[in-house]
């Protein structure tokens, strides 16, 4: 990473590479202004967006106005940890007055009349929003290839996918196009792209962060979380968005700790559970396995104790997910009918015709596939065999985790079974694509917090991620372990050359 | 698990989707593959297991029955593809 002290002559060269903590210190000490920082980030976006395609909307004008406001706050002696920090938002999260598409043609155009709670809270804390990030349509996908607009490329290798569905978020953070980003995670959509792009990504506990203004995919699984280049930065953004929100009846009415307080604490004696089923998973790349085993050795050298655990039902997690998520999606996406917002096809003979034409022309192939699967699984005669059965196996997965957390504090395993694959490699085979979420899905089904942190590189130079999972509302434990790991390793210091 | 072309078309109609004739066969194959994969759930004995529909044990979230702010009508209508006289406009529903 670059020197934290700012040389007046070269400051614009690498301000966009600052961590949030470093930028905050420089802003607070008045060594830089948010306007300078924001301009550096916008210049960086202008310089690399043509190759990365991470953004669906760039809000330069609004960002510079927010930066000026942040600078006025600093001049008045107010500089909270996120004040003046340029961030970007996955385009599934509503931003008042700024186009929000969910990566779908069916919401083009849609200008939300309100901010999502997380956006409102970030703005209140002085964060600067530089734009909206590309994603798989309605967050359905693992590669960002399902976007209705464009394919985002991995900054480490432009011929490869950045992961998904928050691929724009991970690529933008990795390439220095923002200091932090928000993503959403329904089956791994923050962690898998974080892993593929060599950044930190956290899916908080279900209910930790308000979903108000997050466009729904699978409501019992969806959760908003941060992506950043450092564990401490992710903790700072999580501090900014976590908490009870009366507008989301599933958000938890619990006090939120300061997630930076745990950073730096020794992990001596922390029990790390290693699921014995995962090493034998079909499709696990040997380079990923080696990197994760190396990471576990590092954690042991830091004083953590490894515990052998078993999660016998997680082998069914992908199957459970691909019933429950499409069922919930088929219901949630019924609202796109060409009446209230977004796209309407040329009218057919009657209302039903208009609905069908609008939805078929507006939704992409993967979204239509999942709506059909969900509708099928919920239809008369199949409900018990599919949705009922999957919901029962979900219980067994929840119980597996409960048992595991009786003997360990944190679970460690790979985030994704392989490094980033090539664009087009899996796009014609939905089932193979689904299996890239094999390690991440169970945390959504159980509602537990999980994060991905860089833990190595493949021989081809592609990032590999370590996943850490914790107990419900146990974000501090996984952040603490991740922070110690980061401090003991250098993987986070390497940046893609772009 | 096989799913026929007719079933795909029926379910697509229920979901208010219109699938092109040329795409039905491929879609039926893909959905059949996914359902066949999902069928492995039948290997699991779930006798007496309660279903989980939600990861956290939440009870109803009540609030005081007091008036709160809502979007004004104009803001609610602003994104409509077609609106008139403060209402959404849809194709004729009854004859």
User: What average pLDDT score do residues A108-112 get?
Assistant: 94
User: What average pLDDT score do residues A77-91 get?
Assistant: 98
pLDDT, residue A432, reads 83
- Span A116-131, pLDDT tens digits: 999 999 999 999 999 9
Compute the distance between CA of residue A174 and CA of residue A162 in angstroms, rounded to an integer.
10
Among A137-141, A276-280, B83-87, where is mean pLDDT lowest?
Answer: A276-280
Q: What is the DSSP letter of A270?
A: P
Q: Do A316 and B76 touch (CB under 8 A)?
A: no
- So which residues of A are the catalytic ones? 90, 165, 189
In A182-266, alpha helices (H): 191-197, 231-241
Compute the distance between CA of residue A347 and CA of residue A487 in angstroms, rounded to an integer.
60
Q: Which residues pair with A154 in a beta bridge?
A: A157
Strand A271-275 relative to strand A200-203: parallel, antiparallel, unpaired? unpaired
Mean pLDDT of chain A: 95
Q: Of all residues in chain A, what percent carry a pLDDT higher than 90?
A: 92
The partner residue sitting opposite B31, judged by closest CB among A344, A369, A394, is: A369
Whether the per-residue pLDDT at A239 is higher than 80: the answer is yes
Higher pLDDT, A428 or A319: A319
Helix (H, G, I), strand (E, B) or coil at A57: strand
Cβ atoms of residues A195 and A413 within 8 Å: no
Note whether A341 contacts B: Cβ–Cβ < 8 A: yes
Residues from chain B that touch A352, judged by Cβ atoms under 8 A, are 16
Q: Sorting pLDDT into bands at 50, 70 and 90, what band is A342?
A: very high
Q: Sorting pLDDT into bands at 50, 70 and 90, what band is A10?
A: very low
Q: Do B53 and A391 touch (CB under 8 A)?
A: yes
List, in order, residues 6 or more apart from A95 with CB less than 8 Å away: A89, A112, A115, A116, A119, A129, A132
Letter string b/e over residues A384-415, b meaning 16 or more CB atoms within 10 A of that residue's CB: eebbebbbbbbbbbbebbeebbeebbbbbbbb
Tokens of A488: 């003991």
Which of B4, B22, B41 to mutate to probe the A interface, most A CBs <10 Å?
A: B41
Note whether A376 contacts B: Cβ–Cβ < 8 A: yes
The partner residue sitting opposite A393, judged by closest CB among B33, B44, B61, is: B44
- Span A364-404, pLDDT tens digits: 999 999 999 999 999 989 999 999 999 999 999 999 999 99
Model pTM above 0.90: yes
Determine the distance in angstroms separating the CA of A28 from the nearest CA of chain B, rounded to an integer: 37
Write the secondary structure of A463-477 as one string of H (helix), E (strand) and C (coil).
Answer: EEEEEEECCCCCHHH
Residues from chain B that touch A395, judged by Cβ atoms under 8 A, are 49-52
Determine the distance in angstroms separating the CA of A74 from the nearest CA of chain B, rounded to an integer: 32
Residues from chain B that touch A359, judged by Cβ atoms under 8 A, are 15-18
pLDDT, residue A6, reads 52
pLDDT, residue B1, reads 64
Which of B5, B10, B16 to mutate to probe the A interface, most A CBs <10 Å?
A: B16
Tokens of A402: 């409960």
Whether the per-residue pLDDT at A481 is higher than 60: the answer is yes
Whether the per-residue pLDDT at A430 is higher than 90: the answer is no
Q: Which residues pair with A132 in a beta bridge?
A: A57, A89
Compute the distance between CA of residue A173 and CA of residue A194 in angstroms, rounded to an integer.
9
Determine the distance in angstroms separating the CA of B36 from the nearest CA of chain A, rounded to an integer: 10
φ, ψ at A306 (rounded to 5°): -90, 140
Q: Which residues pair with A128 in a beta bridge?
A: A86
Q: Locate tokens 């939600």: which residue? A: B54
């Amino acid at each position: 990473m670059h020197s934290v002290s700012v040389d007046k002559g070269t400051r614009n060269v690498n301000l966009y590479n600052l961590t949030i903590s470093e930028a905050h210190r420089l802003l607070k000490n008045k060594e830089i202004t948010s306007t300078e920082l924001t301009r550096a980030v916008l210049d960086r976006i202008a310089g690399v967006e043509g190759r990365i395609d991470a953004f669906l909307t760039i809000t330069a004008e609004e960002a510079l106005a927010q930066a000026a406001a942040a600078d006025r706050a600093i001049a008045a002696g107010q500089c909270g940890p996120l004040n003046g920090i340029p961030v970007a938002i996955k385009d599934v999260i509503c931003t008042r007055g700024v186009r929000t598409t969910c990566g779908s043609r069916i919401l083009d155009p849609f200008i939300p009349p309100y901010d999502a709670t997380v956006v409102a809270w970030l703005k209140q804390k002085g964060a600067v929003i530089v734009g909206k990030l590309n994603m798989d349509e309605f967050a359905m996908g693992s590669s960002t290839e399902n976007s209705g607009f464009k394919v985002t490329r991995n900054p480490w290798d432009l011929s490869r996918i950045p992961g998904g569905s928050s691929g724009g978020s991970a690529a933008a953070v990795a390439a220095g196009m923002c200091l932090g980003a928000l993503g959403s995670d329904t089956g791994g959509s923050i962690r898998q792209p974080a892993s593929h792009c060599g950044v930190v990504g956290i899916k908080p506990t279900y209910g930790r962060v308000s979903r108000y203004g997050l466009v729904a995919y699978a409501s019992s699984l969806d959760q908003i979380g941060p992506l950043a280049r450092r564990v401490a930065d992710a903790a700072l953004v999580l501090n900014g968005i976590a908490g009870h929100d009366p507008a989301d009846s599933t958000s938890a009415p619990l006090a939120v700790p300061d997630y930076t307080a745990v950073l730096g604490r020794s992990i001596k004696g922390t029990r790390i559970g290693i699921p014995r089923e995962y090493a034998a998973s079909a499709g696990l790349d040997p380079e990923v396995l080696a990197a994760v085993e190396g990471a576990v050795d590092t954690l042991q050298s830091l004083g953590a104790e490894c515990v052998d655990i078993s999660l016998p039902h997680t082998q069914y997690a992908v199957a459970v997910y691909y019933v429950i998520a499409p069922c919930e999606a088929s219901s949630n996406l019924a609202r796109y009918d060409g009446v209230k917002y977004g796209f309407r096809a040329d009218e057919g003979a009657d209302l039903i015709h208009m609905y069908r034409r609008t939805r078929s022309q507006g939704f992409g192939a993967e979204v239509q596939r999942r709506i059909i699967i969900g509708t099928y699984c919920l239809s008369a005669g199949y409900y018990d065999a599919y949705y009922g059965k999957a919901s029962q196996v979900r219980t067994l997965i929840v119980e597996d985790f409960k048992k595991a957390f009786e003997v360990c504090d944190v679970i460690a395993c790979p985030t994704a079974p392989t490094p980033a694959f090539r664009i087009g490699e899996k796009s014609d085979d939905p089932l193979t694509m689904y299996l890239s979420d094999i390690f991440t899905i169970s945390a959504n089904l159980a509602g537990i917090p999980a994060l991905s942190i860089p833990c190595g590189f493949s021989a081809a130079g592609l990032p590999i991620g370590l996943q850490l999972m914790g107990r419900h509302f146990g974000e501090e434990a996984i952040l603490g372990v991740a922070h110690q790991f980061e401090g003991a390793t250098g993987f986070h210091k390497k940046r893609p050359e772009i | 698990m096989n799913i026929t072309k007719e079933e795909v078309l029926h379910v697509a109609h229920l979901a208010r989707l219109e699938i092109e004739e040329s795409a039905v066969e491929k879609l039926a194959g893909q959905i059949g593959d996914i359902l066949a994969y999902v069928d492995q759930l039948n290997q699991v004995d779930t006798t007496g297991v309660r279903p989980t529909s939600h990861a956290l044990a939440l009870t109803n979230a009540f609030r005081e029955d007091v008036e709160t702010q809502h979007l004004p009508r104009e803001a609610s209508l602003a994104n409509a593809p077609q609106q008139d006289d403060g209402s959404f406009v849809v194709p004729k529903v009854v004859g």
